[in-house]
Structure 1
Amino acid sequence: MSQTERYVYRTEVNPDTINLVDMKVETTFLDVRNNRSLFISESKLLRDSLKTVLRQQEKPEIKKSKKNKPEFPKLANGKSIQPTFFEYFITKDYADKTINFVENIGSKQVYYQEDRKLNWNISPQTSDYNGYKVQKATINFGGRIWTAWFAPEIKISDGPYKLSGLPGLILKLEDDKGDYKFNFVKKLSIPNSFSEDIKPDARKSTRINFQGDKASVKMEMAKNKDAEIDLDNFSPGGGRGMHQRNGMNGRFGGQPGQGMNGGMPNGEMGTPDVQMGSTPRSSTGNGNMMSFGNTNPIELSNK
């Protein structure tokens, strides 16, 4: 496997635009390799890596609590993997300029190819950020006006989420409402990182029909009594995600914040080196994470 260049972002999300609540903080990655990129949250990468190991061991069972609810996997320090606002991953192909939005449903996948053009307005305004000279650009996308600061010296036309197409890597990104903020923290070189790919049997959908096709796949799996669908319970919120209105180097004991490559010498996972922030917990008192819900989706419009 070729080396992955991982761009780490400190990501802040406002979970509720109606009630006054604290911003939730987590870590997201932009992994660049072989003229392609993967945008994914650290929590999802950790969780999906563990799911892959469980499937490879042919042991999809998840330990149940007294109330017959799945217990969330623990990190090496005893803490649970944090819930994420990004219950999906996004791949971009630089050669054919395609952007794919992918969700896992058990062992199945549903995805669509983004069909909207990214029409940026590049400003002559410049600034300095994290040791780089950055330039300002704005775009109206998904019902939000985004302001990006990109670094022309980093010759990667990419950035967090679906946002890309600028003459340089986006290092700072924020929407006009202040609900979503991505701030570049550091770059890591990962020799054998765990990566997400679109499977050959994935259900191809469209942006408009995506939620319906997701429901169809879930119904098919339930009808066929596919045990893999139980792995959806492995994630807080059952994989609903925060999309629209519906809504790792080393080993498990490796270096913090560098993810996983599927090795598992000690059966433990490394501890993230960027704080994930406070997270909501269920009222059951058993330490299970509750869902963030979908009160503040990243896309407010299909236009």
Structure 2
Amino acid sequence: MKKIFILMMLFFFFGEMMSQTERYVYRTEVNPDTINLVDMKVETTFLDVKNNQSLFISESKLLRDSLVAVLKSQGNLDVKKSKKNKQEFPKLANGKSIQPTFFEYFIKKNYENRAINLVENIGSRQVYYQEDRKMNWDVSQQTSDFNGYKVQKATVNFGGRTWTAWFAPEIKISDGPYKLSGLPGLILKLEDDKGDYKFNFVKKISIPNTFTEDIKADARKSTRINFQGDKASVKMEMAKSKDSEIDLDNFNPGGGRGMHQRGGMNSGFGGQPGQGMNGGTPGNEVGNGQADIQMGNSQGNSGGNNASTINFGNSNPIELSNKY
């Protein structure tokens, strides 16, 4: 009953704050370790477009953060500890646990000024920076068909990887997964040259009410180069002030952190490929039926049941270089 009440609170607490969102759902594959032979890990990521802005975020982080916000609004943010003295996040209404994510941050893009901000939560605080590198795309005349759309090929060197994108000119949104953007159409398929990261568009859904993420007024503004140092500084400040929320960033099983650049990832990833929560990936599909996060609700198939957590360490960040 308590779990149902929490989900109902999600609806009423955020209902007035939100407007229609166009959500582009991607099946995302990550190679967690390029040295050891391991399976690609699969999760669902979202590109939410609303009011001339977009939000790139993983399904797991969006659900976890929405639940944190509701619990905080109730003054009931109490993290229980397991028998092994590890923090346990409250379970969903269907009894499943929130799965870990490789994307322990969110990215906000503003279409008017073309600003791209990467934001990471440190407990109740935020640290962010604005991307300062341009993406110089090489657009090919090669075309193909993907998921019902005619797509065109483009490549770019960014973050130490060469990315190949297939964008749909008929979708007039100059955006895509992660920071990748700037093409004359939405990126529907994206993969790096090493095959470590793959984003494949699955479907678009329109959501009248959905939880969103924003940059807080008191967020610490950093730079791309100083980002890791500023995160450490904020943690030190919170530890000195004995902030009770300093451990909120440990809600991700395995102590996951953002892996957008080398040194930024120390994450675990539990479960098997195809066990993403809330529209997991059985077979070759993501987000089957009505199993999409809207108001924090979790319906349909939720995977990762009794999955063990694997800690891959700092093995394969999405950005290998800060130079370009």
Kept in 2, the 8 Å contact 1:106–1:232? The answer is yes
Counterpart of 2:313 in structure 1 is 293
Counterpart of 2:272 in structure 1 is none
Counterpart of 2:291 in structure 1 is 257
Quick one: distance in 2 between partners of 1:109 and 1:277? 29
Matched, 1:56 2:73: yes
Kept in 1, the 8 Å contact 2:97–2:305? The answer is no
Match of 1:97 among 106, 114, 128: 114
Q: Report the residue type matching 2:67 in the other structure.
A: L
Quick one: distance in 1 between partners of 2:176 and 2:300? 21
Matched, 1:81 2:82: no
Kept in 2, the 8 Å contact 1:190–1:258? The answer is no
Shift of 1:2: 2.1
Residue ranges of structure 1 left out of the alignment (5+ in a row): 248-254, 263-268, 282-288
Kept in 1, the 8 Å contact 2:109–2:116? The answer is yes
Counterpart of 1:265 in structure 2 is none
Report the TM-score, using the length of structure 2 for normalisation: 0.83
Secondary structure of the 1:66 match is coil
Q: Aligned pairs, how many?
A: 283
1:142-172 per-residue CA deviation (whole Å, 9 max, x = no partner) reads 0000000000000000000000000000000
Match of 2:159 among 113, 120, 142: 142
Counterpart of 1:127 in structure 2 is 144
Give 4+ residue runs of structure 1 displaced > 6 Å after superposition: 275-280
Q: Report the residue type matching 2:241 in the other structure.
A: N
Q: Report the residue type matching 2:322 in the other structure.
A: N
- 1:173-212 equivalences in 2 (<5 Å): 173-212=190-229
Report the TM-score, using the length of structure 1 for normalisation: 0.89
Q: 1:272 to 1:160 in 2, by over 3 A?
A: farther
Q: Report the residue type matching 2:321 in the other structure.
A: S
Moved more, 106-115 or 225-234: 225-234
Matched, 1:161 2:178: yes
Secondary structure of the 2:71 match is helix
Q: Report the residue type matching 2:235 in the other structure.
A: K
1:176-230 per-residue CA deviation (whole Å, 9 max, x = no partner) reads 0000000000001011110000000000000000000000000000000000112
Counterpart of 2:31 in structure 1 is 14
Counterpart of 2:298 in structure 1 is 270
Secondary structure of the 1:43 match is helix
Residue ranges of structure 2 left out of the alignment (5+ in a row): 1-17, 265-288
Matched, 1:215 2:232: yes
Quick one: distance in 2 between partners of 1:243 and 1:144? 12
Q: Report the residue type matching 1:261 in the other structure.
A: M
- Identical aligned pairs, as a percentage? 80
Shift of 1:114: 0.1
Shift of 1:233: 2.2
